[in-house]
Structure 1
């Protein structure tokens, strides 16, 4: 077995995404991958201690999670609005939603 693993680190922005491929030693953590990617320097708004969460293939992980070969570490931006609150507001306003989003009156 080799003593290094291949990892991708992804950070999605409004208009594009940053993807960095890395080779790290076995036993590297999600935090190690983000730090090695250089994205923390390029995007100083990333805050691993607070607002930003990390995931591997769309599953939340802690920064100290040990990675496996070919994992993709995702840096999630904080939500602008709470999806539950938005749905509740729409329901309170009496808007009927169709499956998949958008209002039901748009189906015509």
Structure 2
């Protein structure tokens, strides 16, 4: 069996994609490394208020768990937590268009149903 210290290294890119300008860091990790290992090795979360546990992780835009294995030349993406619920945000946009009285807004009211009020708790904790 091979010694774990002599395992081959693979190159991985780690991208912190938040509201601030994105950071892209290249790191070398062992071939058996996970997504969380690459994030920790990159050090991009050191200055941020995010941790591996409370942020969303992905590889090339596909959602992954922190214990997912990596392959050579993968790009690990770190996304911040959601600020608003996507369903509620869409409801709010539709109601705004309905309220304008434009032709586009009126097509939503063809059923004759009155518009519903947006929920007050659209921000996620």
CA contact (8 A) 2:18 2:79 kept: no
| Structure number with larger C-alpha Rg | 2
82, 87, 90: which one aligns with 1:87: 90
Q: CA deviation at 1:23?
A: 1.1
- Alpha-carbon distance in 2 for matches of 1:87, 1:13: 21
Q: Which has the higher strand share?
A: 1
Q: Residues 1-108 of structure 1: matches in 2 within 5 Å?
A: 3-43=8-48, 45-50=49-54, 52-93=55-96, 94=98, 96=104
- Alpha-carbon distance in 2 for matches of 1:23, 1:65: 17
Structure 2: 5+ residue stretches without partners:
1-6, 106-125
Higher relative contact order (CA 8 A, sep 6+): 1
- Alpha-carbon distance in 2 for matches of 1:88, 1:70: 39
Q: CA deviation at 1:46?
A: 1.1
Q: CA deviation at 1:90?
A: 2.3
Which TM-score applies when normalising by structure 1? 0.78
- Alpha-carbon distance in 2 for matches of 1:71, 1:57: 7
User: How many correspondences in the alignment?
Assistant: 94
SS, match of residue 88 in structure 2? helix
SS, match of residue 77 in structure 2? strand
After superposition, the CA RMSD in angstroms is 1.8
